[in-house]
Amino acid sequence: MLVKTFLSSPFGCFEICGSEFGIRTVHRVRQDGIADDLPAGHPVAVCRQELEAYFAGKRRAFDVALDWSGAPEFHRLVWAELVKIPYGETLAYSDIAQRIGHPKAVRAVGLANRHNPIAIVVPCHRVIGKAGELRGYFYGLDIKMALLRHENPQRFAEQGSLF
């Protein structure tokens, strides 16, 4: 049975959905919902706690179980590589393609990124263009940059004006 809960964060409200097998989705939603009462060890409750700690700057990696059932095999391959990208670091789409053994599948990697159902926990925001430029993010490039700054404020610092 799928259950869901909601989490308000500095990046908006997120809906977390999953079952006893793992998290299926973490999506940003327009308004807060009512958080369900869940047993402490349920993956949805665990994910909520881990995301709260992440947003508070107290967690750098996620341990919650993930449930990618029904997703295309290539997407799963890409997502499995995304979770290996360390906190505060980035890789290019071409790096991911290379790592999964499909060096010419850069666009397909981008498509898999776009269809990542478990935002932040599966850190597709850590994938950027080969020249270091930000590329599409389903919540907008401003949110992608904010997440990168959250994880690595020195590298992604906002530049001030000289005048």
- Positions marked active-site: 124
Which residues lie below 8 Å from residue 127, measured CB to CB, with a gap of 6+? 82, 85, 90, 91, 92, 93, 96, 109, 113, 135
Closest of 116, 160, 119 to residue 143, by C-alpha: 119
Closest of 63, 68, 113 to residue 92, by C-alpha: 113
Residues 160/135/146/30 CA torsion (nearest 10 deg): 130
What backbone phi and psi angles, to 5 degrees, belong to 126?
-85, 5
